[in-house]
Structure 1
Amino acid sequence: MANLIVRNLDETLVRKLKQRAADHARSAEAEHRAILEAALSPTRRRSLALLLAGMPDVGEDGDFARVRTGRHLRRVFD
């Protein structure tokens, strides 16, 4: 495994890293590795079909229909 040295870090950043490490019950070095891995690992993207399939089935189709009042469409969120 390779080693990585990070120099000239602001003390505030180091304190935040140590606090985050303590919150996760691990060393600052392990927290640093976890942050780097999360930032540089490819994200798994879900397809639009899976995203839509995961949405709850609420309301009726008529709840989402646009209603015309006179010559203008009724404002939905007013």
Structure 2
Amino acid sequence: MAAIIVRNLDDEVRRRIKERATANNRSMEAEARAILTSAVSQNRFVDAWLSLTDQLRSDANGVPELDLPARSLPRDLDLS
């Protein structure tokens, strides 16, 4: 396993990690590990979701399959 040192960590960030660790019944190290793991795992989920739903958003030529309704200008607002 690799080790990482974070220099110049703001005191407020350290305090908030400590609070989260206490709330989650973890050490600060375990909480920081969970935060980092979550931060990098989230991108994989979004990329996978976008890839899977790409076929729903457009056809093979990149043209949307759903017709969007025409938009109109907003109505005038009378505040009198």
Q: Where is the strand percentage greater, Structure 1 or Structure 2?
A: 1
Which blocks of at least 5 consecutive residues in structure 1 are unaligned? 49-78
For these two proteins, the number of residue pairs brought into alignment is 52
Give the distance between the partners of 1:5 and 1:26, measured in 2 at CA: 19
Give the 5 Å matches for 1:27-66: 27-41=27-41, 42-43=44-45, 45=49
What TM-score, normalized to structure 1? Answer: 0.56
Which blocks of at least 5 consecutive residues in structure 2 are unaligned? 54-80
What TM-score, normalized to structure 2? Answer: 0.54
Deviations 1:25-75 (A, max 9, x none): 000100000000000012152855xxxxxxxxxxxxxxxxxxxxxxxxxxx
Task: Provide the aligned C-alpha RMSD in A.
Answer: 2.3
Same amino acid, percent of matched pairs: 48
Q: Which runs of 4+ in 1 moved over 2 A?
A: 44-48
Deviations 1:7-36 (A, max 9, x none): 101111100000001010000100000000
Pick the structure with greater CA Rg: 1
Q: Where is the helix percentage greater, Structure 1 or Structure 2?
A: 2
